[in-house]
């Protein structure tokens, strides 16, 4: 079946046929799909630019920033738990933690009941900087979400969940590629 008979759109493992009433409607829909895809790419680029600028201000690299973000979001954890959450080996995690400590963004703390257990936590300085850098973005984003209808929020939540799952799936695929 050729392009004049409709557009086959796929999302995850589901597929459905879109049968426009005429070529103009199909072209218009395809243009909107292309515009949405472009906006997603631009959003990803803008997010990467914010993170790169923040990393520069903090004196960190992208890996360190990801570790700090996990600590901020998840709270205190062991180095092993943090390494697993960030997709790092234990050795790479040790190096990242050394850099985060030197930058004053994280610290290792011995367990209170088991002194052999070492926990990693974000420092008060890093908390302040995190709030100064990302707080306004979070506040403005939350305000935008609050103006949405329940149906819009439900759609957005599902779209973002599926998008995250798609990215995670392809990160695993790419990691498994031969070098």
Q: Give the CATH number, domain containing residue 116.
A: 1.10.10.10
Residue 85 near residue 139, CB atoms below 8 Å: no
Residue 71: the pLDDT is: 94
Does a structural domain hold residue 164? no
What DSSP string describes the chain?
Answer: --GGG-EEEEETTEEEEE--SSHHHHHHHHHHHHHHHHHHHHHHHHHHHHHHHHHHHHT--HHHHHHHHHHHHH-SEEHHHHHHHHT--HHHHHHHHHHHHHTTSEEEEE-SS-TT-EEEEE-HHHHHHHHHHHHHHHHHHHHHHHTS-HHHHHHHHHHHHHHHHHHHHHHHHHHTS--
Is 78 a domain residue? yes
Higher pLDDT, 179 or 151: 151
Residue 3 is classified by DSSP as: G
Domain count, the chain: 2
Instruction: Give the residue with greater pLDDT, 150 vs 3.
Output: 150
In a shared domain, residues 93 and 43: no
Claim to verify: residue 104 and residue 83 sit in the same structural domain:
yes
Q: Which band of pLDDT confidence, cut at 50, 70 and 90, is reported for residue 142?
A: very high
Of 11, 35, 58, the residue at which a domain comes to its end is 58
- Residues 67, 113 within the same domain: yes
Burial class (CB in 10 A: 0-12, 13-18, 19+), 178: exposed
Tell me which of 123, 148, 172 is where a domain ends: 123
Please tell me whether residues 53 and 66 are part of one structural domain: no
User: Can you tell me the mean pLDDT for 134-155?
Assistant: 97
Give residue-wise pLDDT tens across range 26-61. 779 899 999 999 999 999 999 999 999 999 999 999
Write down the pLDDT at residue 68.
Answer: 94
Q: Is the dihedral of CA 57, 60, 61, 67 positive or negative?
A: negative
d(C-alpha 60, C-alpha 33), whole Å: 37
Residue 178 within a domain: no
**Domain finish residue from 43, 58, 73:** 58
- 5 pLDDT higher than 70: no
Q: Tell me the per-residue pLDDT of 80-135, one tens digit each, with 9 for 90 and over.
A: 999 999 989 999 999 999 999 999 999 999 878 887 888 999 999 999 999 999 99
Residues with Cβ within 8 Å of 40's Cβ and at least 6 positions away in sequence, in order, are: 163
Count Cα neighbours of 9 within 13 Å in the Cβ-side half-sphere: 12
Average pLDDT score over residue span 14-21: 48
Range of the domain at 48: 1-58
């Amino acid at each position: 079946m050729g392009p004049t008979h409709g557009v086959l759109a796929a999302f995850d493992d589901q597929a459905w046929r879109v049968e426009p009433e005429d070529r103009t409607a199909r072209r218009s829909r395809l243009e909107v799909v292309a515009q949405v895809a472009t906006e997603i790419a631009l959003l990803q680029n803008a997010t990467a630019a914010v993170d790169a600028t923040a990393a520069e201000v903090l004196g960190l690299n992208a890996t360190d920033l990801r570790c700090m973000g996990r600590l901020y979001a998840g709270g205190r954890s062991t180095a092993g738990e943090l390494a697993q959450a960030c997709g790092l080996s234990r050795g790479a995690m040790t190096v990242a933690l050394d850099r985060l400590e030197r930058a004053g963004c994280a610290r290792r703390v011995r367990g209170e009941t088991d002194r052999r257990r070492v926990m990693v936590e974000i420092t008060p300085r890093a908390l302040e900087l995190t709030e100064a850098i990302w707080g306004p973005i979070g506040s403005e984003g939350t305000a935008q979400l609050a103006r949405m209808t329940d149906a819009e929020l439900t759609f957005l939540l599902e779209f973002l969940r599926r998008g995250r799952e798609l990215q995670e799936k392809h990160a695993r695929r790419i990691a498994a590629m031969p070098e």
